[in-house]
C-alpha cells in the first residue's frame, strides 16, 4: 500500500517547495517542522549524481537560531564545549551543544555573522527553546529568533565548477565552513562552503523566501553542463562518510566523546560552558561506548534499515546499529552504530539483529575506505 | 503525483504503528518526531464515526515530559501562568506554557501523578529542552525525562459505552481531565477522560510499548457494537469545536489572552511564574489580536487549506485564517483565525484570500453552533 505524506498548513513548506514539486519529489519526511523532500524516484541516479557529478538539495529544513546583541558571544560560548576563543566573522564551525549532564542535544554549524550576531544552523529539534531559556534565565542582553533564511545545497565533486560559473573564481578558494554574503541576479544570499556530505560542495543560504524558485532554477541551469539533478542528503553516502545524524544516531544519553568529538570538547578552557563539569568527569572516567562502522555480512540490503538493530557480543546486547545500507562503491553492506568501547576495535566480530534475521558483522574504521573506481 | 511518506529509523514509530498499518492508515504526518497516521482513506466515514459513534486514534505522538523530584511542583508552577494552588493528584489540567515574553510555547495537559511527579502531555515541540534548561539553570532537584507512555484515544459520543464495557461503570463517572491508573488484561495503562475533540471520550496512556497492538485490538473489539473504527484528530471537527492547535494556529508572538485563555492566566497569584511581568503588561495594556471563527462564503471547500490565508479589512491585512474546511453538519465553510481585536466582533464582514481566490467572510463565535440533526 502506498502511504502518502499529508500536506497541510501545520507543517511549513520550504521556499523551494514548488521547485522540488516540479523536479519530481517522490518521498517526504518532516524535519524541524518543515516538509523535507528526501527522494525523487530514482535512488541509483541520486546517489550517482552526488558521488560523481553534482546534486541540488532543498535543505531549508536546516533552520537558523539567531543570537544577536551585546551578550551574543558570551551566550554562544556558554552553549558549546568547543573553545571559541579564536572565533572570527565569516568562518563557520561545527559546534556540539550539550546539556548540563554533558548529553548531546544538537550539533549545529555556528556562523559568526558579526561581532554581535551568531547563527546556529541546527539539526532536527527546537534548540531555540533551549537557547532562549538559558538567555532569559541568565538575564543576557540578546535577542534569540529564527530569521528568514533557507539553505540550498549544491553537493558533489563538480559542485565547485557550478559555483565558479555562478560566482567567479574567488568562490573556489573558500575554506571549508567559510561563508560570505553575496547575491545572484539580485537574490540576496550567504554562500558557504559546507554541506552534509563528504563529496565537497556549498550551501546557498537564501535570505529572501519569495525568491526560492528563482534561486533553484538559476543553480539548476548553471549545473546542466555538469550533470546536476535533484537530490537530498543521501542515506548511503552519509554512512560511507561516517556523518553523524543527531537524533537518528544518538540516544538520550549520548555524549560527544562517544561519537568522536573529542577535539571539539575543551573542558580545560576558562569559559564555564554548560555541561563542563559533567564532561570533565566523563573524560576523566573514560568513555564507555564508542561510535564505529560495521560491515554486515550476507545478502545486499535492498533499502534502509527500518529501526535500530541490536548488536550482540557473547550473547549480550552491547549497543545498536542506527543506520545501514548496501554501498555500491564498496560492494558491501555497511552500517553505523554505538557500542561498548571494549568491542569497538576495528576487526572485532559481532552479531547484528536485522529485520532480515541475524547477521554476522565486523567493526570498521570511520569513514569507510572507498575503493578508487 | 502521489507523494509518499519516507519511513526510516530517524523518526520514531508508535507502539500502535503495526495496528494502524493493519487498519489501513493512508496518510501520515510527523509530530514530536514520530509518525502520525492522520487518515485512513475515507474522510467522510472518519468524520461520521467521530461525531456519531466512536473512533480509535493513535495519538502516541502526544509525548509526556515527566518532572519528578522534590522540586517538581515548584518547577511546574514556575512554568505556567495557570494558578496551580489547588492542584491535586489524579485531576489533569490544561496549562498554557509561556516564555519570558509571555509568548505561548506549548499548551499541554498537566497530569499530577503524585506529590513529586508531574507529566506534561505536550503539543508538537521539544518542550523538554525548555523545562530542562529552566530546571538546571535554577539548580532545582528534579529529573526531567520522557517516559515510555503512549496515548490511544477513544473519541466520540459512544466512547463512554466502549469504556464502560472495558473498565466498568466507575469509568463513566470520571470528570473531564480526571485520570487513574488501571489495566486491561494485564496491559498497564492510565485511563484519562480527555482527548482532542469535543465529542467526549477517553485517552488510554499505554505504559508498556510492546503491548500496543494488544491494546488497540482489545479496544477495537469492545467497540464493534458501537461502530468503532480508526481515525485521527479531525480537521473539520476541531474547527467546528474551536480547538487550538499550537504551532498551526499560533505564530511567534501569540500570547494566551489572544487565544481566549484569559481564565488560565493568573498574573495576580503569588507564584513568580515565567512570563508574569510580560503577561501583566499585556493584560493591563489590552489585547491587540483575538482568535475567532469565520464563515467563508462561496462554494464548499474540497479539502483543507494548504497555507494560512490573509484576512483583509478596508484594504489592509488584519490577520490570518489558520484552518478552514467545509463542515457537513453546519453546511457551510468555516475557519479559525487570529485578527485585529477591533474587527473580531461576531457578524463583522471581512475578506479572506484563499487558494481559491478572494472570498467574503463573516466573523463567528467559537465554538460554532451545530444544528441539531
What confidence tens digit (pLDDT) does each residue in B253-289 have? 999 999 999 999 999 999 999 999 999 999 999 999 9
Judged by CB atoms closer than 8 Å, whether chains meet at B26 and A3 is answered as yes
Who's near B277: CB < 8 A, 6+ residues apart? none
In tens, the pLDDT along B298-350 reads 999 999 999 999 999 999 999 999 999 999 999 999 999 999 999 999 999 99
The backbone torsions φ and ψ at residue B349, rounded to the nearest 5 degrees and listed phi first, read -95, 130
Q: How is chain A split among helix, strand and coil, in percent rounded to 5?
A: 25, 30, 45
Burial (CB count within 10 angstroms: exposed 0-12, middle 13-18, buried 19+), residue B373: exposed
Number of C-beta neighbours around residue A140 at 10 A: 18
CA of A129 vs chain B CAs: smallest distance (Å)? 5
Contact B156, B51 (CB under 8 A): yes
What is the reported pLDDT for A1? 74
Element (H, E) at A130: helix A127-137
* Cα atoms found within 13 Å of the Cα of residue B218, Cβ hemisphere only: 17
Give the number of beta-carbon pairs within 8 Å between A and B.
148
Q: Which residue has the cell 529539534?
A: A125
Rounded Cα distance, B196 and B199, in Å: 9
Judged by CB atoms closer than 8 Å, whether chains meet at B129 and A133 is answered as yes
- DSSP state letter for A292: E
Average pLDDT for A210-229: 98
Whether A273 shows a pLDDT value over 80: the answer reads yes
Judged by CB atoms closer than 8 Å, whether chains meet at A9 and B137 is answered as no
Judged by CB atoms closer than 8 Å, whether chains meet at B127 and A132 is answered as no
Largest CA distance in chain A: 62
Which candidate from A1, A9, A307 shows the least CB-CB separation from B305?
A: A9
In tens, the pLDDT along B3-40 reads 999 999 999 999 999 999 999 999 999 999 999 999 99
- Nearest CA-CA partner of A27 in A15, A42, A14: A42
Pick out the residues of the known binding site of B for substrate: 203
Q: Which residue has the cell 549520548?
A: A254
Rounded Cα distance, A107 and A96, in Å: 4
* Mutant choice from A1, A7, A10 vs B, greatest count of B C-beta within 10 A: A10
Judged by CB atoms closer than 8 Å, whether chains meet at B136 and A3 is answered as no
Judged by CB atoms closer than 8 Å, whether chains meet at B130 and A127 is answered as no
* CA of residue B112 relative to chain centroid, distance: 18
Which candidate from B26, B30, B137 shows the least CB-CB separation from A134?
A: B137
Burial A115-126 (b: 16+ CB within 10 A, else e): eebbbbbbbbbb
CA of B129 vs chain A CAs: smallest distance (Å)? 5
Average pLDDT for A293-311: 96
Contact A72, B40 (CB under 8 A): no
Contact B116, B72 (CB under 8 A): yes
Judged by CB atoms closer than 8 Å, whether chains meet at A4 and B1 is answered as no
What is the reported pLDDT for B159? 98
CA angle A146, A147, A148 (to 5 degrees): 125
Whether A269 shows a pLDDT value over 80: the answer reads yes
Number of C-beta neighbours around residue A139 at 10 A: 8
Q: How many helices (H) and strands (E) does chain B have?
A: 8, 22
Largest CA distance in chain B: 62
Q: Which residue of A has its CA nearest to B3?
A: A26
Altogether, the residues listed in chain A come to a count of: 373
Rounded Cα distance, B301 and B326, in Å: 5
Q: Which residue of A has its CA nearest to B40?
A: A3
Burial B3-23 (b: 16+ CB within 10 A, else e): bbbbbbbbbbbbbbbebbeeb
CA of B167 vs chain A CAs: smallest distance (Å)? 34
Q: Which residue of A has its CA nearest to B249?
A: A10
Whether B373 shows a pLDDT value over 70: the answer reads no
For A349, the grid coordinates are 566480530
Domains within chain A, CATH numbers bracketed: 17-62+149-238 (3.30.1360.120), 239-364 (3.30.1360.120)
- What percent of chain A has pLDDT above 90? 98
Burial (CB count within 10 angstroms: exposed 0-12, middle 13-18, buried 19+), residue A272: exposed
Which candidate from B8, B136, B305 shows the least CB-CB separation from A304?
A: B8
What is the reported pLDDT for A78? 98
Amino acid at each position: 500500500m502506498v502511504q502518502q505524506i499529508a500536506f497541510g498548513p501545520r507543517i511549513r513548506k520550504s521556499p523551494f517547495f514548488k521547485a522540488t514539486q516540479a523536479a519530481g519529489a517522490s518521498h517526504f519526511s518532516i524535519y524541524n517542522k518543515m516538509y523535507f523532500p528526501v527522494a525523487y524516484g530514482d535512488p541509483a541516479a541520486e546517489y550517482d549524481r552526488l558521488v560523481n557529478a553534482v546534486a541540488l538539495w532543498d535543505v531549508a529544513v536546516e533552520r537558523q537560531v539567531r543570537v544577536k546583541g551585546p551578550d551574543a558571544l558570551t551566550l554562544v560560548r556558554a552553549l558549546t564545549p568547543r573553545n571559541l576563543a579564536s572565533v572570527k566573522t565569516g568562518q563557520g564551525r561545527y559546534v556540539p551543544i550539550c546539556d548540563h549532564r554533558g548529553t548531546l542535544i544538537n550539533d549545529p554549524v555556528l556562523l559568526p555573522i558579526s561581532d554581535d550576531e551568531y547563527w546556529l544552523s541546527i539539526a532536527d529539534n527546537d534548540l531555540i527553546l533551549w537557547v532562549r531559556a538559558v538567555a532569559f534565565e541568565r538575564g543576557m542582553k540578546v535577542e534569540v529568533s529564527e530569521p528568514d533564511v533557507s539553505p540550498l545545497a549544491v553537493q558533489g565533486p563538480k559542485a565547485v565548477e557550478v559555483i565558479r560559473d555562478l560566482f567567479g573564481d574567488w568562490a573556489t578558494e573558500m575554506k571549508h565552513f567559510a561563508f560570505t554574503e553575496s547575491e545572484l541576479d539580485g537574490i540576496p544570499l550567504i554562500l558557504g562552503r559546507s554541506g552534509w556530505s563528504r563529496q565537497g560542495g556549498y550551501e546557498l543560504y537564501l535570505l529572501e523566501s519569495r525568491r526560492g524558485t528563482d534561486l533553484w532554477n538559476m543553480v539548476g541551469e548553471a549545473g546542466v553542463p555538469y550533470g546536476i539533478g535533484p537530490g537530498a542528503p543521501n542515506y548511503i553516502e552519509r554512512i560511507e562518510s561516517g556523518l553523524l545524524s543527531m537524533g537518528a544516531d544518538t540516544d538520550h544519553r549520548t555524549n560527544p566523546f562517544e561519537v568522536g568529538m573529542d577535539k571539539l570538547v575543551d573542558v580545560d578552557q576558562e569559559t564555564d560552558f554548560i555541561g563542563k563539569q559533567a564532561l570533565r568527569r566523563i573524560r576523566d572516567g573514560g568513555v564507555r561506548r564508542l561510535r564505529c562502522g560495521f560491515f554486515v555480512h550476507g545478502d545486499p540490503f535492498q533499502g534502509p534499515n527500518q529501526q535500530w538493530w541490536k548488536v550482540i557480543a557473547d550473547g549480550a546486547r552491547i549497543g545498536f546499529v542506527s543506520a545501514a545500507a548496501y554501498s555500491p562503491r564498496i560492494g558491501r553492506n555497511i552500517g553505523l552504530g554505538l557500542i561498548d568501547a571494549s568491542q569497538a576495535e576495528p576487526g572485532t566480530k559481532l552479531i547484528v539483529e536485522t529485520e532480515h534475521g541475524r547477521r554476522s558483522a565486523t567493526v570498521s574504521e570511520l569513514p569507510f575506505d572507498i575503493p578508487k573506481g
